[in-house]
Amino acid sequence: MDIRPCGSVPSRRAPASAFTGVVWQEPIIDAPAPALLKSNLVTFEPGARTAWHTHPMGQTLYVTVGCGRIQEWDGPVRAIRAGDVIWIPPGVKHWHGAGPETRMSHISMQEGQDGVVVEWLEHVTDEQYAVEPS
């Protein structure tokens, strides 16, 4: 058993190579092998978002605070809000982030395959982000 006291793992600013805007990550778990789970609490400032990306084993998001947006490639931009649970199947190209005027936080949960939990792709353009959610 491993108990990490509150504040013992520092917050980290998400890298500009994979995110647009100000995004903070609070590590929850990066389970040692043979476990596969990796999880973070991710907070997006207004207008912030991920780049397009995929997960080899899929991803679950649990929105904890605020309102945001999510889109899979060639799909509509959709609104997400506190209490929503989103399942993104393995290999589905997608992005997610805050709304233009609101912060949004979610818990991200994904499993790795051969040590890989995410493949980062191109950034979401301002034009792609500006589409009103359905």
Strand partners, 49: 20, 97
Q: Find all residues with CB under 8 Å of 55, minimum gap 6, and list them.
A: 88, 90, 91, 110, 117, 118, 119
Domain 18-129 is in which class? Answer: mainly beta
Q: Which pTM was predicted?
A: 0.94
In this prediction, residues 12-29 reach a mean pLDDT of 97
- Could you tell me the pLDDT band of residue 134, with boundaries at 50, 70 and 90? confident
pLDDT over 90 at 115, yes or no: no
Quickly state the pLDDT bin for 42 (edges 50, 70, 90). very high
pLDDT of residue 50: 98
